[in-house]
């Protein structure tokens, strides 16, 4: 695996998210109120997402279409689990773990 | 001809007396009412909520101009009566004399001012009327103001708590060892003190005032006898009241501490009656409203030659120092023949003490949880023998007989004569009778029995009685909390944001005790709205606290694409606009173009990242966002009106365009849709809109509170006006009052249902000052929010956020 630099942290709004386009599909990269970063798939099946358009509070996001709440750390919700991706900040840059980013079979 | 009745003082007591009189026989007397205050009757008990900003003066008026007019009362407000000439049977007011057949004295009492050196300086005031209240509120408007309150009794503490809520730095100076020593024991006094200190109030007990220091005739500080100097801009003296007897005494009426009255409320002169705080009855004087209301009833009957007798009942005090729950009744001094039962719960700040003598409760003091007050008070009055339940007595009625602690059970257990409303002396039996007679809501109980009509602290109990009596037919309205993040209802939060001047999300989380760091997806959009509506200048709208549609200025569709609806003012468009829309639809491969129900065109299926570009193109053709996605002004639907239609009475299209250009961009608690029809045929379907206008020959009929969604409801008429200008002004004020008061996600019809159309009418139609003030606040807010969000988001730095942060499809494919 390797860490890919996807941009400066201040390009993600406080308590917000941005999308990263990958062969796997869109990934949502979240920034919380305490400036932690998390990454998950932007959608779960056809019904949930884009989560990058949800409201981020503490370490969770709500689905803008269904209001289901997803835990950003584990990807879990009452309706199923999102794939999460490694994500961290280094020197003000956001790094994304690419190990699960290859196109889904 | 009816006899002449003159009433001196438009107070709590005389006001109630007049109600009884007019109910029984409206024609018996020609009434003239003098009042030294330049206004009619208002609910004096509610001055403290006005002071703290929870209520407005208008909300506490009990008798308005209409009421006096309907009952043919000649009002001489702002005029003090200076003399009573009993021989000639005339009263002498400041502006002239007036003869009477019967005279009623209801002058209330005069606040006692300790004659300390400096007590006559400007800025030394009592706490009695609206002027005093306004003086204190004026202090709150200036940053860094300081106030000293002399007197740690009920009134002094209400003044202190009210001013502290307005941001004033307050010190309470109390001569005794603990606060409210007449109603509370030291333990409850301590808890009260702690609660006040937590509110930022400084409390000094055992403190003796020596002198009031001034500068240029204005108060500067209070000097205590130990040499401490307490600087202040205002000094409030609340150390007690004296019955206002001067007028009666000068006229030679028998007077002791108060003006003497007999059981029929007649003074030593058979044609002069008196009631309220100015009287003395069998050696007692009065300071709470409950017995005064009994006097009012008796006095009215005496005036009508009916037989009635005033009996002074013992009263309990449910005290309402802002935000602290206190109850005290009976005798709670210590003594050898007495026993105490005490219960404390430090975690909840609860203290309860019962004082027993010979197995009967003779006194009760409670702090923090006063729910069982009525039950204990009933037992004090009845002298119930409590030997059987001693062990569990302190846990209240619900606990007796082993049942679980349940407030409904407690109410069910109350006997019929248990007092529910202390102010108006309404018993549980009275309320149950009113329910059997057809009352089904708190409002109806209030109207028929007066329960909860004065200080309001028993409203919860009344609802419980409704619940117990009506069973499943009555659902106790819950002030539901907004979400799991806090315990407060939307209404409470709105009120506190205003009164405590909370101007940021952090301030709300901190001051209102949010349990989460930064709210959740349920509360944050509501709080964001309340803050921007109440503090348009100070607060910065937070896009991250908005649902996606309002954050992205487009409606998200179920496949994650968006729809784009440009504004067409009043439903009018041009060939150029249509061409630009067609071009945009081609350029961005818009799959569906639909004409909406709001008289404009929707481009559906636009990809998120194309939004800034399509907006830019539409902007170039002069079009702006239609806010089809917002809880804000949507559309103003119009018909063609007098321009083209043979039935049209006014230019409905023109008015619609003007309204849309005025209101667009404003955020509202929920969506706001308007319609303007040129005649009552109503082609614009204005009578199911949030706000609608029907043009008529003589002008404009303004409608509000319609609905055409899951619920369907026709509008109600707010008013008729003759000019377009006035129509626009009223609609602006209507929008603003809704913005300022409604709960987030309540449409106008839901909100009006809660507050009542009459109140809305009063504010936006009848009260011109309030209407103008609303319009002014709306315009201030619009100076910030009436702008096109598309133009802003089409700019490169914003547009960037609509695109992916990075595109890894190429790299990862390597
Ligand atoms: C801030 C505050 C909070 C209170 N809270 C409570 C509470 O929670 N519970 C409770 O039971 N009681 C409370 N009280 C006490 C209650 O308000 C009084 O008991 C009640 O108002 C007395 O009624 P009244 O009609 O005798 O006098 P008032 O209501 O005082 O009316 C007397 C009126 O007569 C006018 N007047 C006097 N002299 C003249 C004259 N010569 N000519 C013309 N007009 C004259 C005065 O201007 C005044 O408007 C409170 C009082 C205050 C000030
Ligand atoms: C996600 C849900 C919804 C979407 C995406 C949506 C979208 C729209 C759009 C784009 C319009 C055209 C409005 C315009 O021109 O501004 C419209 C009109 C309308 N919508 Fe909705 N809407 C939604 C929910 C609702 C709900 C819940 C109600 C009822 C409570 C409602 C009632 C209406 C009505 C009555 C009109 C016609 C307005 C008129 O005749 O003036 N809509 N809707
Ligand atoms: S509402 Fe009246 S004026 Fe307007 S189009 Fe219909 S008929 Fe004509």
Residue B704 has a CB neighbour count (10 Å cut-off) of 24
Same domain (yes/no): B739, B651? yes
Ligand 3 pocket member B596 (CB < 6 A): no
The Cα–Cα gap between B94 and A52 comes to 73
Torsions phi, psi for B562 (to 5 deg): -125, 165
Q: How far is B507 from chain A (nearest CA, A)?
A: 16
Proximal ligand: closest to the CA of B629:
2
Same domain (yes/no): B480, B595? no
Same domain (yes/no): B352, B447? no
Residue B571 domain flag:
yes
Helices B428-436, B442-449: axis angle to 10 degrees equals 110
Nearest CA to ligand 2 atom 36: B597
User: Taking Cα atoms as reference points, which of B404, B402, B429 lies closest to residue B417?
Assistant: B429
Q: What residues of A are in the B interface, CB distance below 8 Å?
A: 4, 6-7, 11-16, 18-23, 26, 29, 33-34, 43, 49-50, 53-58, 60, 62, 64-65, 67, 69, 96, 98, 101-102
Q: How far is B512 from chain A (nearest CA, A)?
A: 18
CA atoms within 13 A on the CB side of B503: 7
Q: Residue B335's domain is classified under what CATH number?
A: 3.30.390.30
Ligand 1 pocket member B75 (CB < 6 A): no
Nearest CA to ligand 1 atom 19: B288
Ligand 3 pocket member B679 (CB < 6 A): yes
Going by pLDDT thresholds of 50, 70 and 90, the confidence category of residue B405 is: very low
Q: What is the DSSP letter of B137?
A: H
Proximal ligand: closest to the CA of B713:
2
Same domain (yes/no): B71, B184? no
B457-507 residue pLDDT tens: 677 778 888 888 887 777 766 666 788 888 778 887 888 888 888 888 888
Contact residues on chain A for B812, CB-CB shorter than 8 A: 22-23, 98, 101-102
Same domain (yes/no): B538, B553? no
B277-311 residue pLDDT tens: 999 999 989 988 889 999 999 999 999 999 999 99
How many angstroms separate the alpha carbon of residue B427 from the centre of ligand 1?
24
E strand map for B630-696: 633-638, 672-677, 691-696
Same domain (yes/no): B231, B250? no
The Cα–Cα gap between B673 and B707 comes to 10
Asked if the Cβ–Cβ distance from B804 to A21 is below 8 Å, we say yes
Asked if the Cβ–Cβ distance from B805 to A18 is below 8 Å, we say yes
Going by pLDDT thresholds of 50, 70 and 90, the confidence category of residue B183 is: confident
Ligand 2 pocket member B571 (CB < 6 A): no
Ligand 3 pocket member B282 (CB < 6 A): no
The Cα–Cα gap between A38 and A12 comes to 11
Nearest CA to ligand 2 atom 18: B597
Question: Which token pair is B525?
Answer: 């959009």
Q: Residue B210's domain is classified under what CATH number?
A: 3.50.50.60
Proximal ligand: closest to the CA of B682:
3
A28-84 residue pLDDT tens: 999 998 888 999 999 998 888 899 999 998 899 999 888 899 999 999 998 889 999
* Closest residue, chain A, to B523 (C-alpha): A57
User: Taking Cα atoms as reference points, which of B214, B35, B49, B197 lies closest to residue B133?
Assistant: B49
CATH number of the structural domain A3-102? 2.102.10.10
Tell me the average pLDDT of chain B.
Answer: 89
Choose which residue among B47, B289, B296 to substitute to test ligand 1 binding: the one with the highest number of ligand atoms within 8 A of its C-beta.
B289
How many angstroms separate the alpha carbon of residue B651 from the centre of ligand 3?
10
Residue B728 domain flag:
yes
* Closest residue, chain B, to A6 (C-alpha): B806
Q: What is the pLDDT of residue B244?
A: 95
Percent of chain B with pLDDT over 70: 95
How many structural domains are present in chain B? 6
Q: What is the pLDDT of residue B783?
A: 93
Torsions phi, psi for B356 (to 5 deg): -110, 145
A12-23 residue pLDDT tens: 998 999 999 999
Asked if the Cβ–Cβ distance from A53 to B520 is below 8 Å, we say no
Residue B308 domain flag:
no
How many angstroms separate the alpha carbon of residue B709 from the centre of ligand 2?
8
Q: What is the pLDDT of residue B456?
A: 62
Residues 6+ away with beta carbon under 8 Å from B316: B327, B328, B329, B330, B364, B373, B377, B380, B419, B422
The Cα–Cα gap between A104 and A27 comes to 13
Going by pLDDT thresholds of 50, 70 and 90, the confidence category of residue B403 is: very low
Same domain (yes/no): B48, B147? no
Last residue of a domain, one of B494, B526, B542: B542
Asked if the Cβ–Cβ distance from B804 to A26 is below 8 Å, we say yes
Q: What is the pLDDT of residue B166?
A: 86
How many angstroms separate the alpha carbon of residue B694 from the centre of ligand 3?
10
How many angstroms separate the alpha carbon of residue B15 from the centre of ligand 1?
11
Weakest mean pLDDT among B429-433, B448-452, B626-630, B762-766: B448-452
Q: What is the pLDDT of residue B320?
A: 63
Last residue of a domain, one of B203, B223, B239: B239
Residue B409 domain flag:
no
Residue B115 domain flag:
no
**Residue B761 pLDDT > 80, yes or no?**
yes
Ligand 2 pocket member B708 (CB < 6 A): yes
* Closest residue, chain A, to B560 (C-alpha): A50
**In contact, B214 and B118? CB cutoff 8 Å:** yes
Same domain (yes/no): B104, B248? yes
Most confident of A27-36, B1-10, B665-674: B665-674
Contact residues on chain A for B548, CB-CB shorter than 8 A: 53-54, 64
**Residue B322 pLDDT > 90, yes or no?**
no
Alpha helices per DSSP H over B43-95: 47-52, 57-60, 65-70
B196-242 residue pLDDT tens: 888 889 999 889 999 999 999 999 999 999 899 999 999 999 998 99
Q: Which of B543, B547, B806 sits opposite A64 (nearest CB)?
A: B547
Domain boundaries, given as residue ranges, for chain A? 3-102
Same domain (yes/no): B373, B284? no
Q: Which of A20, A23, A65 sits opposite B558 (nearest CB)?
A: A65
**Residue B406 pLDDT > 70, yes or no?**
no
The Cα–Cα gap between B636 and B639 comes to 10
Residue B810 domain flag:
no
Ligand 3 nearest-atom number relative to CA B646: 8
* Closest residue, chain A, to B550 (C-alpha): A53
Q: What is the pLDDT of residue B169?
A: 94
Ligand 3 pocket member B683 (CB < 6 A): yes
Torsions phi, psi for B30 (to 5 deg): -90, 115
- Given strand A56-57, what is the order of strands in its sheet? A56-57, A60-62, A69-71
Cis peptide before B800 (omega within 30 of 0): no
How many angstroms separate the alpha carbon of residue B540 from the centre of ligand 2?
28
Asked if the Cβ–Cβ distance from A57 to B519 is below 8 Å, we say yes
How many angstroms separate the alpha carbon of residue B597 from the centre of ligand 3?
17
Say what the ipTM of the complex is: 0.87
| SS3 per residue for B176-235 | CCCCCCCCCCHHHHHHHHHHHHHCCCEEECCCCEEEEEEECCEEEEEEECCCCEEECCEE
Residue B16 domain flag:
yes
Same domain (yes/no): B458, B566? no
Q: What is the pLDDT of residue B99?
A: 96
Asked if the Cβ–Cβ distance from A49 to B560 is below 8 Å, we say yes
**Residue B53 pLDDT > 90, yes or no?**
no
Q: What is the pLDDT of residue B338?
A: 78
Same domain (yes/no): B782, B651? yes
The Cα–Cα gap between B712 and A52 comes to 36
Q: Is B309 helix (H, G, I), strand (E, B) or coil?
A: coil
Q: What Cα–Cα distance (Å) separates residue B387 from each residue in B332, B359, B405, B411, B807?
A: 19, 6, 21, 22, 81
Residue B796 domain flag:
no
Choose which residue among B562, B597, B633 to substitute to test ligand 2 binding: the one with the highest number of ligand atoms within 8 A of its C-beta.
B597
Cβ-count burial B773-793 (b if 16+ within 10 Å, e if not): ebbebbeebbeebeebbbeeb
Percent of chain B with pLDDT over 90: 60
Going by pLDDT thresholds of 50, 70 and 90, the confidence category of residue B402 is: very low
Ligand 3 pocket member B681 (CB < 6 A): yes
Q: How far is A78 from chain B (nearest CA, A)?
A: 16
* Closest residue, chain B, to A101 (C-alpha): B812
Residues 6+ away with beta carbon under 8 Å from B64: B40
Domain of residue B762 covers 633-787
Contact residues on chain B for A97, CB-CB shorter than 8 A: none
Asked if the Cβ–Cβ distance from B808 to A23 is below 8 Å, we say yes
CA dihedral A4, A52, A103, B608 (to 10 degrees): -110
Same domain (yes/no): B582, B637? no
Ligand 2 pocket member B597 (CB < 6 A): yes
Contact residues on chain B for A26, CB-CB shorter than 8 A: 804
Q: Residue B434's domain is classified under what CATH number?
A: 1.10.10.1100
Conformation bin of residue B460: beta by default, left when phi > 0, alpha when psi is -120 to 50: alpha
């Amino acid at each position: 695996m390797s860490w890919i630099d996807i941009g400066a942290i201040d390009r993600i709004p406080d308590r917000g998210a941005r999308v990263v386009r990958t062969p796997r599909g869109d990934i949502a990269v979240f920034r919380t109120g305490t400036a932690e970063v998390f990454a998950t798939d932007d959608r779960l099946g056809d019904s949930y997402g884009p989560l990058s358009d949800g409201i981020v509070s503490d370490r969770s996001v709500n689905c803008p279409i269904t209001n289901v709440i997803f835990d950003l750390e584990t990807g879990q919700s009452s309706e199923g689990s999102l794939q999460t991706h490694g994500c961290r900040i280094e020197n003000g840059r956001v790094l994304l773990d690419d190990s699960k980013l290859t196109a889904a079979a | 001809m009816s006899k002449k009745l003159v009433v001196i003082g438009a107070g709590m007591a005389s006001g109630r007396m007049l109600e009884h009189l007019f109910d029984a026989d409206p024609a018996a007397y020609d009434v003239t009412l003098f009042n030294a205050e330049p206004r009619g009757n208002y609910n004096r008990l509610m001055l403290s909520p006005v002071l703290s900003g929870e209520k407005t003066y208008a909300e506490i008026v009990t008798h308005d101009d209409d009421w006096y007019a309907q009952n043919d009362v000649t009002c001489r407000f702002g005029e003090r009566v200076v003399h009573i000439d009993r021989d000639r049977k005339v009263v002498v007011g400041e502006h002239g004399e007036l003869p009477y057949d019967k005279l009623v004295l209801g002058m209330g009492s005069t606040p006692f001012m300790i004659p300390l050196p400096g007590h006559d300086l400007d800025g030394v005031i009592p706490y009695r009327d609206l002027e005093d209240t306004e003086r204190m509120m004026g202090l709150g408007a200036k940053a860094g103001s300081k106030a000293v309150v002399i007197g740690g009794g009920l009134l002094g503490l209400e003044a202190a708590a009210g001013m502290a809520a307005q941001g004033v730095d307050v010190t309470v100076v109390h001569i005794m060892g603990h606060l409210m020593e007449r109603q509370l024991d030291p333990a409850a006094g301590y808890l009260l003190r702690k609660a006040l200190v937590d509110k930022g109030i400084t409390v000094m007990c055992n403190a003796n005032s020596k002198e009031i220091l001034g500068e240029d005739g204005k108060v500067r500080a209070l000097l205590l006898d130990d040499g401490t100097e307490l600087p202040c801009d205002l000094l409030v003296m609340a150390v007690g009241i004296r019955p206002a007897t001067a007028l009666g005494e000068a006229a030679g009426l028998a007077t002791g501490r108060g003006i003497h009255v007999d059981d029929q409320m007649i003074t030593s002169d058979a044609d002069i009656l008196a009631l309220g705080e100015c009287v003395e009855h069998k050696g007692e004087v009065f300071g709470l409203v409950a017995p005064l209301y009994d006097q009012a009833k008796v006095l009215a009957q005496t005036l009508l030659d009916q037989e009635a007798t005033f009996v002074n009942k013992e009263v309990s005090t449910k005290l309402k120092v802002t935000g602290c729950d206190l109850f005290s009744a009976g005798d709670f001094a210590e003594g050898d023949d007495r026993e105490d039962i005490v219960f404390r719960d430090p975690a909840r700040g609860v203290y309860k003490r019962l004082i027993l003598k010979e197995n009967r409760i003779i006194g009760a003091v409670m702090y923090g949880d006063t729910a069982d007050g009525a039950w204990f008070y009933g037992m004090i009055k009845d002298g119930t023998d409590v030997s059987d339940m001693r062990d569990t007595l302190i846990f209240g009625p619900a606990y007796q007989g082993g049942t679980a602690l349940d407030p409904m059970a407690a109410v069910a257990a109350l006997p019929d004569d248990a007092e529910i409303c202390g102010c108006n002396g309404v018993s549980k039996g009275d309320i149950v009778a009113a329910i059997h007679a057809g009352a089904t809501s708190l409002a109806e109980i209030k109207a028929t029995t007066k329960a909860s009509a004065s200080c309001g602290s028993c409203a919860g109990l009344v609802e419980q009685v409704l619940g117990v009596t009506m069973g499943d037919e009555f659902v106790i309205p819950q002030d539901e909390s907004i979400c799991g993040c806090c315990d407060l209802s939307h209404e409470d939060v709105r009120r506190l944001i205003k009164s405590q001047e909370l101007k940021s999300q952090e301030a709300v989380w901190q001051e209102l005790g949010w349990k989460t760091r930064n709210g959740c997806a349920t509360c944050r959009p509501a709080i964001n709205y309340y803050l921007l509506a109440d503090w348009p200048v100070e607060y910065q709208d937070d896009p991250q606290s908005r649902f996606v549609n309002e954050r992205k200025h487009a409606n998200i569709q179920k496949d994650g694409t968006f729809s784009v609806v440009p504004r067409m003012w009043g439903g009018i468009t041009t060939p150029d606009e249509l061409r630009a829309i067609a071009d945009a639809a081609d350029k961005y491969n818009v799959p569906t173009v639909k004409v909406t129900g709001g008289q404009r065109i929707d481009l559906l299926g636009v990809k998120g990242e194309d939004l800034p570009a399509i907006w830019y193109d539409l902007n170039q053709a002069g079009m702006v966002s239609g806010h089809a996605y917002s809880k804000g002004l949507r559309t103003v639907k119009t018909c063609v009106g007098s321009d083209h239609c043979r039935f049209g009475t006014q230019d409905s299209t023109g008015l619609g365009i003007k309204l849309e250009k005025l209101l667009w961009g404003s955020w509202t608690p929920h969506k706001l849709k308007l319609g303007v029809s040129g005649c009552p045929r109503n082609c614009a379907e204005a009578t199911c809109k949030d706000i609608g206008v029907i043009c008529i020959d003589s002008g404009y009929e303004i409608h509000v509170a319609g609905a055409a969604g899951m619920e369907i409801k026709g509008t109600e008429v707010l008013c008729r006006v003759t000019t377009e200008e006035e129509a626009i002004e009223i609609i602006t004020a209507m929008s603003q009052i809704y913005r300022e008061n409604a709960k987030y996600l309540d449409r106008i019809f839901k909100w009006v249902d809660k507050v009542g159309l009459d109140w809305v009418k009063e504010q936006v139609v009848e009260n011109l000052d309030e209407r103008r003030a609303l319009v002014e606040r709306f315009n201030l807010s619009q100076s910030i929010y009436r702008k096109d969000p598309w133009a802003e988001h089409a700019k490169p730095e914003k547009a960037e956020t609509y695109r992916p942060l990075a595109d890894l499809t190429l790299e990862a494919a390597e």
